[in-house]
Copies of this chain bind each other. A is one copy, B any other.
Amino acid sequence: MNSYQDRILYSSLRDKVISAEQAALFFKDNTIVGCSGFTKAGDSKAVLSALAQRALTDPLQITLITGASLGHNTDGNLAASNVLKRRMPFQVDPVLRKKVNNGEVLFIDQHLSETVEQLRSKLYDTLDIAVIECALIKEDGSIVPTTSVGNSATFATLANKIILEINLSIPVTVEGIHDIFDTGDFPRKIIPIMAADSRIGTASIPIDPAKVVGVVITHTQDSPAEIAPPDAQTLAIAGHLLDFFEHEVKVGRLKKSLLPLQAGIGKVANAVLGGFVEGDFHDLTMYSEVLQDSTFDLLDSGKMTFASGSSITVSDAYYKKIWAEFDRYKSKILLRPQDLSNAAGVIRRLGVIAINTALECDMYGNVNSTHVAGTNMMNGIGGSGDFARNAYLSIFVTPSVAKNNTISRIVPMVSHVDHTEHDVDIIVTENGLADLRGLAPRERAKLMISKCVHADYKDALADYYQRAVKRGGHTPHLLEEAFSWYTSLQQTGSMKPAEVFA
C-alpha cells in the first residue's frame, strides 16, 4: 500500500485530498488548534509547516495544543512567524523557548495528563481544528495513528474541523499497536488497565468523517531523538540506581521483575535502562510515556516482556530497525492516549517505578524540572509530575554539577518547585543515591549532603544547613540567604563557595 488511495478506505474522503498549503488556509486568526505529536513522534509534518510559511506574508495567531513536543523545528518555525499566541502543554524548541521567556508567547506548562481534562471540561473556547497524522483511514472512517497517540483522540472528538495527514513513510502494519479508550464525562469510566499489556480499547481513533475538511499526504519521517551516549557521570548514576534495585530485591521489597518502569527522556534514563540489559533483572515491563532506544534494547535482550507508552521516540538507527523488524516488536508494545499512559489512578494501581531527570534538587528533596534560576523556562514539566506524584518510587536523577562545576544541581533551596518534598522518594547523582523515603527534613538534608552533592559544594551546603538548624524549624532555612548561590552565579559566574563567601 504505497499509493495514498489505498490508505483511504473510507472512500468519500478520497475527494478531500488537498495540499498542505490549501490546508493551511483553514486556519483563522485566534483559532484554537489541537495537533498530534508527542515528543517529536507522530506530529504534523506538512500542515503546521505550511501554516508557518503562510503566516510570513499573511499574519495570524493561534492557540496551539499538542500532545507534547513537535519535531522538524515546527514549533520554532511557528514561533518565528509569530503564529503562536498560546502554546500548551510542552515544548522543547530553542526559538519558541526564547519567545516564551521574553513573554511573546503565552506558554501553559501543564501536566501531560491534564490537557484532556481541561479540554473536556470546556475550559477553553471551541477547538476549531484538529490536525492528526495517521497511517490509514479505515472503512468506518476511524483512523490509525502513527508513532504516537498523545491527545489526538480527544482532539478528534472535540474539534469542529479535522485535517488528516496520511504519512506514507509509516507502514500500514502499524495498525494494532494503539489502544484507544475514551473515559467520557464525569463520572469518567474506570480505566481497567491492570498491567502494561492490558488492552482496553480499540486499535483506531473513531472520527466523524463529516468533520474532515482535508486530507494531506506526506512521507516525512519523525525527527530522530538525539541521545548522547552514556558517559562516566551517567553510568555512575545508572550504577547507583541498579545497586539500589538489587538492594530492594534483597530486602524483599521488590522482585527481580521489579514493577512497571517509567523513564523520562534523556541520556541518564537511557543509561539506567541500558544497565538492565546486562543486569540480573528479568520479566521487566514498562508503563511509560515514551518508548526510547533503550526500551527496544530491553525487548531485544529478552529482559523486558512488554512496554506501553504514548509514543515511540527513537534515534534514526532504531527508527529504521523498528520498521524493518516490526513484526518482532508489534506484540510487545502498545501506544495509549496520554491521559491513560499518565493516568494517576493507573500509575498508583500498578506501582510504577518512575525515573525522571531533575534540573536541580534541594537538600530537602524538592525538585525543579522546568525553570533555570527560577525564571527561565527550559521545556516544561511534561509527564514527570503525573508519574512522580503517584508512583511507587519517585526517582529523580541529575549530575551533581554543570558547566565546569560552576553550577551545583544540589542547592539549599530550589528556585522553582515542580515536585514537592512530599512527592520525591529518591535522588541520585553520580556521587550517590539518597533514599529519602520515610525521613524527616533534617534527616533528608544530612543524607543529601552526604550522598549527592558534589565535593566542590559539600562544605558550603553543610555550612548552610548547620547555620539554618541553629535558627530552628522543621525545615531549617535562612531565607535571606536561600538563593545566594544563584545571585553569586549571576555576579561571579559561579556558585562556588569561594565566590559565595567572598
Residue positions of A touching B, CB distance < 8 A: 86, 88, 100-103, 106-111, 114, 117-118, 121-124, 183, 186-192, 194-195, 251-253, 259, 343-346, 348-351, 366, 371, 373-377, 381, 385, 389-390, 392, 413, 415-423, 437-440, 442-443, 468-469, 471-477, 479-480, 482-483, 486-487
Contact = CB atoms under 8 A, between A and B. Distances in A.
A420 B418 contact: yes
A477 B438 contact: no
A107 B440 contact: yes
Given A190-B349, A440-B86, A474 B375 contact: yes
Contacts of A345: 191, 343-346, 348-349
Given A345-B343, A416-B475, A252 B122 contact: yes
A233 to B, nearest CB: 27
A261 B389 CA distance: 22
18 contacts: A103-B472, A110-B422, A121-B351, A122-B253, A123-B437, A186-B259, A186-B349, A187-B194, A187-B351, A188-B348, A190-B349, A343-B348, A345-B349, A371-B475, A373-B479, A374-B479, A479-B483, A479-B486
Contact of A117 (B348, B469, B487): B348
Contacts of A251: 122
Contacts of A195: 187
A362 to B, nearest CB: 11
Contacts of A124: 438
A471 to B, nearest CB: 7
Given A344-B389, A344-B390, A375-B472, 17 more contacts: A101-B472, A108-B440, A117-B348, A121-B351, A183-B349, A186-B350, A187-B351, A345-B348, A371-B474, A374-B477, A375-B468, A375-B474, A376-B472, A389-B389, A415-B477, A417-B417, A417-B420
Contacts of A88: 438
B473 A101 contact: yes
Nearest to A192: B190
A106 B440 contact: yes
A148 to B, nearest CB: 22
Q: Chain A interface secondary structure, helix, strand, loop or mixed?
A: loop
A186 B353 CA distance: 12
Contacts of A183: 349
Contacts of A187: 194-195, 349-351
Given A349-B345, A440-B86, A377 B422 contact: no
Contacts of A473: 101, 371, 374-377
Nearest to A100: B474
A117 B437 CA distance: 12
A480 B479 contact: no
Contact of A108 (B371, B376, B439, B482): B439
Contacts of A350: 186-187
Nearest to A252: B122
Given A117-B392, A344-B390, A389-B389, A188 B107 contact: no
A123 B202 CA distance: 39
